[in-house]
Amino acid sequence: MAIGMIIGGVAALASGIMGASQASKNNATAKSNQKKQEKFNKEVSKKTNEYNDKLDAADKANYEAMREYSHETSIQNWQRSSEIQDYQYLNSLKEYEKNVGISADQLNLNQLSADQAVQSEDAAVQDMFIQQQFERESSLAALKSVYAEGSLGLKESASKLFGIQSNQRLDTAAINNQIDQLMQEGSFAKTDAMVKGLIASGRAAVGQAGKSRAKSQQSASAELHRGLMQLESELTGKRKQAGIELAKLNAETSLAKIGVGINLERIANSISSAEADADFNNKVMTANLKSLISQSERNIKDIQLQKQVADLNVRESTMIMPERLSYDPVPQLPPERIFIDRMESIPGFVPQAAQQNVWAPLIQGIAKGAPMIGAGFGEKPGN
């Protein structure tokens, strides 16, 4: 037991000695690290200041170079922009001139189209007028033909009427002549019969006497009377036949005259109808021409209105003359930059190295081991 306590005390004492030795080594290492850190901080500060000086010089040089480069680039861009602006303005002028030319051509085309449309309307009226002139001439020719046919018909009817009247006069004269001849032949026959009767009566009176003579005379007288009666009957029948022929002639003449009158009336009706048709056709053609002229006038107004609308559209679509813009201001150098040198770097603060108490482990070892050793040596044997 005592030996164990002695060994524990010696171990505690050795631990204290070793702790003191280790603390001393740690203190030396910390002091060395402090010196190395201070030296490193001085080197870093020196190099940082040298680097900052180079950065300040480079920044100034870069600023001056960039300032000059930016100014020259701005000048070049400004000149190029001015050239582009001039080019665009020139193109705008050319486009404007072209557009104005096209608009003028379009206006001329609108005028030409309107003139042609009006000429077409005038030509349509002229064609209608010429057509109606031919139709009027045709109608007039037809009317003249009707007049000519009517004139020929009138002449033919007059000729027929003259022929009828001439035939009537000739036939009437022939019948009257025939009647006169019959009358003359009747007078001659009566005279001859009376002479023959007187002769027969005289012979009867001379050749016989008494009743026989009287009977002979009576027989001769009766014979004479019968002959005269027969002759009178024949003459009356022939006169009646002549009268009938004369009446028939008058009737036929009247019918022929009526036919001539009907033909004349038909001719007059044909002429009147042809005149009415010609007048109606003239009225129709006049109305058609007036209607066509009115329609042409409306069409011409529509053409003028369409031209005005087309001209308005052309004028509205015509470009406005471009205006020349002023150039952008000439680029100027900006104000110079104020440079401030970077702050000078100083070595960073290095805190003093922490020092361990060398004696504390030793004292603790002694404090722990001494009582144990003392107790080991002071204990009696057998305990």
What does the pLDDT look like over 238-283, one tens digit per residue? 566 666 666 665 666 666 667 667 777 777 887 788 888 888 888 8
In terms of Cα–Cα distance, which of 41, 43, 64, 61 is closest to 53?
61
Instruction: Name the band, by pLDDT with cuts 50, 70 and 90, for residue 381.
Output: very low
Residue bearing the bigger pLDDT, 45 or 19: 45
Which range of 56-70, 168-182, 198-212, 214-228 scores highest in mean pLDDT? It is 56-70
- For residues 135-162, average pLDDT: 77
pLDDT (tens digit per residue) in 171-180: 666 666 666 6
Sign of CA dihedral 46, 51, 57, 59: negative
Residue 172, both tokens = 């009437």
- Neighbour-count burial of 260, counting CB atoms closer than 10 A to its CB (0-12 exposed, 13-18 middle, 19+ buried): buried
pLDDT value, residue 61: 92
Q: Identify which has the larger pLDDT, 379 or 91.
A: 91
Side-chain half-sphere CA neighbours of 285 within 13 A: 19
Q: Output the pLDDT for position 282.
A: 86
SS3 of 218-269: the string is HHHHHHHHHHHHHHHHHHHHHHHHHHHHHHHHHHHHHHHHHHHHHHHHHHHH
3-12, 35-44, 154-163: the lowest-pLDDT one? 3-12
User: Which run of H or of E encompasses 380?
Assistant: none
Q: Looking at residues 131-141, what average pLDDT do you find? A: 83
- Overall average pLDDT of the 109-137 stretch: 88
Asked if the model's pLDDT at residue 352 lies above 70, the reply is yes
d(CA 258, CA 266): 12
**2-348+358-378 maps to which CATH number?**
1.10.287
Q: What percent of the chain is modeled with pLDDT above 70?
A: 60
Q: Give residue-wise pLDDT tens across range 47-61.
A: 988 999 999 899 999
Q: Looking at the predicted structure, is the pLDDT value of residue 192 above 80?
A: no
Give the per-residue pLDDT at 142: 81
pLDDT at 383 over 50: no
347 sits in which H/E element:
none
Q: What is the spatial distance between Cα 361 and Cα 365, in angstroms, rounded to a whole number?
A: 6
Contacts of 57 (CB under 8 A, 6+ apart): none
* pLDDT score for 382: 42
Q: Which among 236, 258, 220, 149 has a CA at the least distance from the CA of 186? A: 236
* Average pLDDT value over all residues in the chain: 76
- Dihedral pair phi/psi, residue 101, rounded to 5°: -65, -45
The residue with greater pLDDT, 14 or 316, is 316
% of residues, the chain, pLDDT over 90:
14
